Amino acid sequence: MEDYSQKYANGGKSIVFTQTKRDADSLAYAMGNKNYKCGALHGDIGQNQRERTLKRFRDGDINILIATDVAARGLDIPNVDLVLPFLFLKRSYLLAWIMLCMLPVIKLLYL
């Protein structure tokens, strides 16, 4: 995931959509442990924390927002360089294949 953000977003802002709150937390935790500036956003996050996370993302303090689609509805965030769906699959090669197939299409849709 980190490589896609660097390569296709040129280090800019990326939003990664997960299917569940647990997936959002797990991915944010894993990427945070690798020193990526990211934050999670989902329905179990309190309003104050949600606002802080969004402010940090808008201000560029974090450049990867990991969110469930429900939590991200209605957000108005300018200058997002890359939007990705993320699926937690048991076989990482299948995930890599899906992401490689989808990225050119996603990049074209959001240019």
Write down the pLDDT at residue 34.
Answer: 83
Q: Sheet holding 80-85: strands in order across? A: 38-41, 64-68, 13-18, 80-85
State the DSSP string of 26-76. HHHHHHHHTT--EEEE-TTS-HHHHHHHHHHHHHTS--EEEEEHHHHTT--
Q: What is the model's pLDDT at position 4? A: 59
Q: Tell me which residues of the chain have a pLDDT lower than 70.
A: 1-9, 11, 72, 87-111
pLDDT at 84: 82
The pTM (predicted TM-score) of the whole model is 0.72
Nearest to 19 by CA among 55, 74, 71, 79: 71
> What was the pLDDT predicted at 33?
85
